[in-house]
Chains A and B, each alone.
Chain A
């Protein structure tokens, strides 16, 4: 099997060894070693925070290029919902979507339209008597991975429905097979996306065995191409079939609005999401019906691979959402039953912070970490390459660093002259 762990990667050549990304990473997954940042892959949730803050653009997302279309006889484009916020309101979004034909695709499916379908099923779940409260949206995979790592007792709350892009892929595949008689392996399905976490989910899905999507292309990569050719785009089809509510999925609160939910929480920005998840885990918010959390500020419209400013783009989503019809026919989906959209694999906790498989050894390691921590300055300057002094102490005990890595301590030997065997 191909060894793929994460979409978020680091280009060593560009990394300047600064520590910008270090303390912005919500899972403390980054270390700077020998002047270059490294990602501890098992801890990374692909939230893309490090991509956003890196001034040298050393962090990026592993994505595919349009070249990959050559591998297939027939290619489908699935533009992410948040594309609706990337173009000024003077642009006709249906025309923009038709532009994908000119980029080499044979079929374009509106992911926002698939979101309309999920809205209906999700709404049913939320209104069901006796469902776990609150139901947690699966839409942001970074939040789901965070729950697996840090809030495992909330796993049972996850709604376990497929994402709009997966549903869109499944429907498009069926349609094209019927239309062309092509075998499934000849059909290439590409997600044009704003999101490294969603790219990771294509290659390493959560909740389903295999993704129906073959590749992911960054929205950023095709953005200027579309802008440049816009005047020449020929509109051959009504691709944009979604309702305004479907478009709303592109921003925080969109899912709840689409369902007409009353008791819901919509939270954006990973730090705020963590705070609310803490409250959820304490059982403090069990009267809430639905929770949608987004790693990115403003929601997916603020995704790391989107070219537009998150707030400007969110404003556009809001206006388009009001302009589009509020209800649309679901006929085009054919026969879709609820169980087809359900996840069939268990979501497992990811105890990546565990110090040792054996409890007593782990406890002993923890006490060594605390002892070491007391020998460190406690100023969390990051010069050692770890985000905090506590993280360095942990790295030392786990054999990833040494006490000598703390330059502050080394330069003030006398002040911190404490024996290691204290």
Chain B
């Protein structure tokens, strides 16, 4: 299947890849915290930094909880920031349902750790200027999020 979403790495001044492992709760949040540091260095507005941190964090946690592992890529460009979350499956059967606030399939173990409110995807969408999600059962989930500067 041809992917509608193609990453344009060449346009990025800087691209950071963060490997995110399945069920690796101990390190979840490290991509978010690291990218925040970089954003502070380039002097982005504090509210934009917060949004980037939230999107990255929610994407990280979703890969940890719901997928077989994946990669978060953050691309810093002169006019925008792109955050990509690409995992190794198992994919989402009904994307529209998954995007609904409050919908969650998180297991009890994840819920006990405070996840599973079904707010991650809606929050990610709310934080960015452009949100594209591509997924199907048995395939990888690919999310592209853009913040225009």
Binding site for B on A (CB under 8 A): 150, 152-153, 278, 281-284, 349, 351, 353-357, 359-360, 362-367, 369-370
B1: Cβ under 8 A from any A Cβ: no
What 7 pairs across the A-B complex have the smallest Cβ distances? A152-B46, A354-B43, A362-B42, A153-B50, A353-B40, A355-B41, A363-B13
Taking A282-B53, A367-B13 as given, write out 10 further A-B residue pairs in contact, using a Cβ cutoff of 8 Å, ordered by the A residue number. Answer: A150-B40, A153-B49, A278-B33, A353-B37, A359-B43, A362-B42, A363-B78, A365-B41, A366-B14, A370-B14
Task: Give the residue of B29, B49, B50, B76 whose beta carbon is less than 8 angstroms from that of A366.
Answer: B76
CA A365 to CA B53, docked complex, whole Å: 22
State the majority secondary structure of interface residues on A. Answer: helix
Asked whether A364 lies within 8 Å of B40 as measured between CB atoms, the reply is no
Residue of A with least CB distance to B46:
A152
CA A238 to CA B120, docked complex, whole Å: 57
CA A362 to CA B43, docked complex, whole Å: 7
Given A354-B40, A359-B43: A282 and B14 interface contact (C-beta under 8 Å): no
CA A284 to CA B50, docked complex, whole Å: 12
Given A153-B47, A366-B76: A278 and B40 interface contact (C-beta under 8 Å): no
CA A365 to CA B149, docked complex, whole Å: 18
Residue numbers in B under 8 Å from A349 (CB-CB): 46
Asked whether A153 lies within 8 Å of B78 as measured between CB atoms, the reply is no
Asked whether B57 lies within 8 Å of A363 as measured between CB atoms, the reply is no
CA A354 to CA B41, docked complex, whole Å: 4
Binding site for A on B (CB under 8 A): 13-14, 29, 32-33, 37-38, 40-44, 46-47, 49-50, 53-54, 57, 76, 78, 114, 149
Task: Give the residue of B13, B14, B29 whose beta carbon is less than 8 angstroms from that of A278.
Answer: B29
**Cross-chain pairs A/B with CB under 8 angstroms, 24 sampled:** A153-B49, A153-B50, A278-B29, A278-B33, A282-B32, A282-B53, A284-B114, A351-B40, A353-B37, A353-B41, A354-B40, A354-B43, A355-B41, A359-B42, A359-B149, A362-B42, A363-B14, A363-B76, A363-B78, A364-B13, A365-B41, A366-B14, A366-B76, A367-B13
Given A282-B32, A366-B76: A355 and B46 interface contact (C-beta under 8 Å): no
Residue of A with least CB distance to B123:
A283
Residue numbers in B under 8 Å from A153 (CB-CB): 46-47, 49-50
CA A316 to CA B46, docked complex, whole Å: 42
Asked whether B43 lies within 8 Å of A355 as measured between CB atoms, the reply is yes
Residue numbers in A under 8 Å from B33 (CB-CB): 278
Rounded to whole Å, the gap between the CB of B121 and the closest CB of chain A is 15
Rounded to whole Å, the gap between the CB of A422 and the closest CB of chain B is 15
Asked whether B53 lies within 8 Å of A281 as measured between CB atoms, the reply is yes
Among B41, B42, B43, B50, chain A packs the most CB atoms within 10 A around the CB of B42
Residue numbers in B under 8 Å from A284 (CB-CB): 114
CA A359 to CA B39, docked complex, whole Å: 10
Asked whether B40 lies within 8 Å of A283 as measured between CB atoms, the reply is no
Residue numbers in A under 8 Å from B149 (CB-CB): 359
CA A364 to CA B46, docked complex, whole Å: 20
